[in-house]
Amino acid sequence: MFLLTIIILLCNNSWAAEETADPSISKQKSIQFIPKVVLVALEKNQLPLSAISIAVSEIPKNQQLKTPAPLPMHELVNWRSEIAMNPASTMKILTTLTALDVLGPNYRWRTLVYSDGFIRNNILKGNIYLQGTGDPKLTPESLAKLIKNLRDLGIQKIDGNLIFDRSAYDPALLDSNLIDGEALRSYNVQPDPLLYAFRTLSFQLSANKGAQTTEISYTPELARLKIINQLNLQAGACEDWRKELNLDISPDSLPAKTGALPADWQATFSGSFPHACQNVLYNVVAFDPNTFLTLGFTAAWQLAGGEWLKPPQGKSGLVPSAFNPIVQYEGTKLVDAIFDINKYSNNVMARQLFLTLALDQMGKPATVMKSEKVIQGWLQRQGMQFPELVLENGSGLSRIEAISAKHMNDLLIAARSLPNGELFFKSLPMAGNDGTMRNRLLNTIRGWLHLKLRPEIRVKTGSLVDVKAIAGYVLSKSGKLYAVSSFINHPNAYRGQEAHDQLLTWLAEDGPDPKAAR
């Protein structure tokens, strides 16, 4: 309690101004303190002061320079800000900001289609080759557009198989380690130059009380997959609907020969499902990349009115160097991907974007080392050196990635001077409005509705076991813009949201008033 009291006193009495060579200019000293409201929240949630780092800087309104201003600038709060910490998903800030500046917001991923056959009487006699460049959002809608372009060549039927060229990435990336061993969870999907629908099968389940059954649908459409529904409705709330539900996805019949695809697959639901549940989603990664894409492409071709003369097999391979693409599909726009990555903290898309930096700037195959070199080169061009920086995949879904709160804040400050800084700003989740901040600070925000100038909080969040993090901007009720970064690394980090919310509210209310303390 003694230490807590001392720091509270520092909080209330440590603001001061320092004279510079120009008497008309003053700047804040770097102050080692934690706001009182944050201290109280930390103590309440059993988080020691050694578990948190905080950096807060005020960004002048007129900072619209062609190159970043000297850093740090107008630093207001500095608590252990130079310590390397695990930032969880706030590391996506570095990846997305670099990509916006290096690749540009209008960059698009390409998926190329080749064939080793010929078209006669509207039949393509030969194999289809798909070559990917890592489109992070190759969705069923995207695949439908690609297939329309293929159909426009006059193809109605295909007599051949599917060959998938993933040479854009180093093969080792497809077998990289999982953070928690949960191979069936969507957030753990590995990078893939031909990543279709996040390789995730999404089932929607709803109780039909009248028929005493559970209605089940799924997306994306997969060929030769049928649902076996053995679920029983039961009384009870919907909170623990997974508890008594079992799902098994397996071949319905054995392959006719070694290496052939099964003729059919079954998704068997068994156990019980609460009658109070409606439209719940059960996401699962159940197929290897080749099988998932084969079944997905086959179904999409059939939905477009095309036919297969025989069920196609799918396998990995390389496009012969002499081939020219017959279809070139322009996929996701980078700025749209960045909005998804930052607002919804999409780890899979972030990892694809991280590797795109290597692929675009250094050529294939993309590797983690190449991506890191691109990011380090970009930092150097901005005049920034982060000796403590550790990158593993650029998404923050890592036990070893590290950065300091001070340097994360340096990134946020530099972003305001970059050509696409406003796009980056808008990509961050807005408290009480969207993304991972949609349900944060709701009561506080309602209390600001009467203000003429309402505070705006745009913050990227991060969360892992033992990690809680925030990094972003606070536009205060007086119109000041603050960059704020804070990381909590501790076994009790899951209790850290209150401390971070208090910090953001404190800044929105304009925090300390240096003039009042003098």
Sequence-distant (6+) residues with CB within 8 A of 300 are 140, 143, 144, 147, 220, 221
Q: List, for residues 2-12, the tens digit of each pLDDT value.
A: 334 333 333 43
pLDDT of residue 511: 81
Categorize the per-residue pLDDT at 75 as very low, low, confident or very high, splitting at 50, 70 and 90: confident
Alpha carbons 298 and 265: distance in angstroms, whole number: 14
Closest CA to 455 of 465, 463, 444, 440: 444
The fraction of the chain above a pLDDT of 90, given in percent, is 80
Cβ-contact 186, 198 below 8 angstroms: yes
Q: What angle do CA 393, 398, 399 make, to 5 degrees?
A: 140
pLDDT of residue 439 exceeding 60, the answer is yes
pLDDT of residue 64: 45
Task: Please state the pTM of the whole predicted model.
Answer: 0.89
Q: List, for residues 204-245, the tens digit of each pLDDT value.
A: 999 997 778 999 999 999 999 999 999 999 988 898 899 999
Cβ-contact 145, 138 below 8 angstroms: no
Q: List, for residues 314-367, the tens digit of each pLDDT value.
A: 999 999 999 999 999 999 999 999 999 999 999 999 999 999 999 999 999 999
What does residue 403 show for φ and ψ, rounded to 5 degrees?
A: -160, 160
Categorize the per-residue pLDDT at 65 as very low, low, confident or very high, splitting at 50, 70 and 90: very low
Categorize the per-residue pLDDT at 485 as very low, low, confident or very high, splitting at 50, 70 and 90: very high
Alpha carbons 314 and 486: distance in angstroms, whole number: 47
Judging by beta carbons within 10 Å of its beta carbon (0-12, 13-18, 19+), is residue 144 exposed, middle or buried?
middle
Higher pLDDT, 282 or 15: 282
Cβ-contact 64, 419 below 8 angstroms: no
DSSP letter, residue 178 = P
What does residue 26 show for φ and ψ, rounded to 5 degrees?
A: -135, 155
What is the arithmetic mean of pLDDT over 395-410? 97
Higher pLDDT, 106 or 518: 106
What does residue 406 show for φ and ψ, rounded to 5 degrees?
A: -60, -45
Alpha carbons 335 and 333: distance in angstroms, whole number: 6
Q: Give the N- to C-terminal CA distance of the chain in Å, as an integer.
A: 27
3-class SS of residue 5: helix
pLDDT of residue 263: 59
Sequence-distant (6+) residues with CB within 8 A of 156 are 122, 123, 305, 306, 307
Alpha carbons 484 and 482: distance in angstroms, whole number: 6
Judging by beta carbons within 10 Å of its beta carbon (0-12, 13-18, 19+), is residue 448 exposed, middle or buried?
middle
pLDDT of residue 445 exceeding 90, the answer is yes
Higher pLDDT, 511 or 52: 52
For residue 163, give Cα distances in angstroms to 128, 131, 328, 469: 6, 9, 16, 42
3-class SS of residue 330: strand
What does residue 445 show for φ and ψ, rounded to 5 degrees?
A: -65, -40
Sequence-distant (6+) residues with CB within 8 A of 260 are 313
What is the arithmetic mean of pLDDT over 120-130? 97
Categorize the per-residue pLDDT at 13 as very low, low, confident or very high, splitting at 50, 70 and 90: very low
Categorize the per-residue pLDDT at 182 as very low, low, confident or very high, splitting at 50, 70 and 90: low
pLDDT of residue 101 exceeding 60, the answer is yes
Per the document, the length of the chain is 518
Closest CA to 29 of 61, 74, 60: 74
The fraction of the chain above a pLDDT of 70, given in percent, is 86
pLDDT of residue 63: 59
Q: List, for residues 259-309, the tens digit of each pLDDT value.
A: 545 458 999 999 999 999 999 999 999 999 999 999 999 999 999 999 999
Mean pLDDT of the chain: 88
Question: Which stretch of 42-51, 130-139, 263-272, 294-303 has the lowest confidence by average pLDDT?
Answer: 263-272
3-class SS of residue 118: strand
Cβ-contact 52, 42 below 8 angstroms: yes
pLDDT of residue 3: 38
Alpha carbons 448 and 296: distance in angstroms, whole number: 48
